[in-house]
Amino acid sequence: MSANLYSKLIHDSSYKLVQLAPDLLETLENTSQSEIKFKAVNNEKSDVVLCSKNKTWLIKEKHHSNTVMLLREFVATGQQTLDEKSLFGMPQPINDLLAFSRTTSEYETRPAKGLLNIDHLPIYNGDVGFPTEPAKLKFKTLDDVLDNSPASELESFTRWNLLGGCIVNGFPCLLSAEFLSNALHVTLMSVMAESLDLDSLTIKDTFEAVNKDMSEGSNPYTKKVIETVLRKYGTKLDKGEKEDKENWKLDRQEISRWYGIRALRKYATKPSLPMEEFLVKWKSTFPPFSPFNIEMKMLGGWYFQPIARNIQYVSKDTLPTDIKERFKMLFRLQSQWDLENIIPFVDELNTKGLKPDIFVMKYARKKRVGKRYIVSSR
């Protein structure tokens, strides 16, 4: 097959070439998931992403020095029959193509982690009369939050649940860590007092258990707050006919972890604390007779050991975002680490998806001591 090529080139910036990543092409070809949206946090310098229902792709402009022409079919004036010698064995052209524009850049697409835009969400701490100035809120509905977040719908809802997102008096907000802890604690005490099954809870039954002995007027633990607790600390088992009839199974390990982080912050900030003593204090923070197990490995990424068998709380928010500086900071806190204990502090910076031990070895030394791998600075 051959074609006649003609050119009448102009520079038209309205045409954009986009390289389709394999999974993006597959999504476009799937008619049930073919809806794709362009999204960005704002209209200025933020990255632009493409979002399907469950995936996000980052778009980056790539400039090059190659000549890339855009072609379209057209009808040439007059019929032309080329000399066989000029065809170099190719058949006679069967159509005519016109190069009408050229471009010096293309847009690459690559899979990215969707982000929920929480910059303008207020924090709810159980205050009466929330929000105090609703007219000043940028995001007045959950749809406003989703539309302004560079993430797919599935990723957005996953992050919303993980961060403790809630609708209070019709407005989207985030529950404060303190209020969320109180809501979880009250929920656990209430469902255990009513002998409800922690592996099969409905929003309706849980809300009724929490509100059994509370006055309606001053109760901050609304049905939406209870729903937030179940979404953050539970897993949906099935989809009921109505939302409050859906069954939820509490994630006992995640609940233990949440209580453990709070206990670290309260008891082991300064000075350090013997590990055995901390375990006793951690267990004491649960409601009486709670059926939750505790292990230190649940708290990976939240403590270090300044001396053997002692632990001390450290917040990830205080660590550098630069990977080299983060390793330097970690080795200042603790000169040697077990490999499994240092990985939770750095895995979020492993953006290329390397195996954890290979990623750590790019910035530190690793040696085997018995069955353990010990990591130290270079």
Domain ranges of the chain: 2-112, 319-377
Using one digit for the tens of pLDDT, what is the confidence trace for 86-129?
A: 666 677 667 788 888 888 888 899 988 899 999 999 999 999 88
Q: What pLDDT shows up at residue 68?
A: 85
Average pLDDT for 49-54: 92
pLDDT for 166 beyond 60? yes
Using one digit for the tens of pLDDT, what is the confidence trace for 199-237?
A: 999 999 999 999 987 776 678 999 999 999 999 999 998
pLDDT for 240 beyond 60? no
DSSP letter string, 317-360: GGS-SSHHHHHHHHHHH-SEEEHHHHHHHHGGG-TT---HHHHH
Q: What pLDDT shows up at residue 6?
A: 78
Q: Which amino acid is at 272?
A: S
Q: What pLDDT shows up at residue 80?
A: 64
pLDDT for 293 beyond 60? yes
Compare 32 and 226 and report the one with higher pLDDT. Answer: 226
Q: What pLDDT shows up at residue 289?
A: 92
CATH number of 319-377: 1.10.10
pLDDT for 323 beyond 90? yes
Q: How far apart are alpha carbons 357 and 353 in whole angstroms?
A: 11
Q: What pLDDT shows up at residue 103?
A: 84
Least confident range of 71-85, 219-233, 249-263: 71-85
Percent of the chain with pLDDT over 90: 63
Q: What pLDDT shows up at residue 310?
A: 96
Q: Which amino acid is at 2?
A: S
Q: How far apart are alpha carbons 102 and 15 in whole angstroms?
A: 9
pLDDT for 191 beyond 70? yes
pLDDT for 85 beyond 70? no
14 band by pLDDT with thresholds 50, 70 and 90: confident
Average pLDDT for 50-67: 88
Torsion 262-264-268-273 (CA) sign: positive
pLDDT for 197 beyond 80? yes
Q: Is 211 exposed, middle or buried (0-12, 13-18, 19+ CB in 10 A)?
A: middle
Q: Residue 222 in contact with residue 214, Cβ under 8 Å?
A: no
> Mapping DSSP to helix (H, G, I), strand (E, B) and coil, where does residue 376 land?
strand
Q: What pLDDT shows up at residue 145?
A: 96
Give the HSE-up count for residue 116: Cα atoms under 13 Å, Cβ half-sphere.
23
Q: How far apart are alpha carbons 359 and 351 in whole angstroms?
A: 10
pLDDT for 364 beyond 90? yes
The CA-atom distances, in angstroms, between 53 and each of 68, 107, 149, 152, 169 are 32, 21, 13, 5, 28
Average pLDDT for 280-289: 96
Q: What pLDDT shows up at residue 64?
A: 81
Q: What pLDDT shows up at residue 227?
A: 96
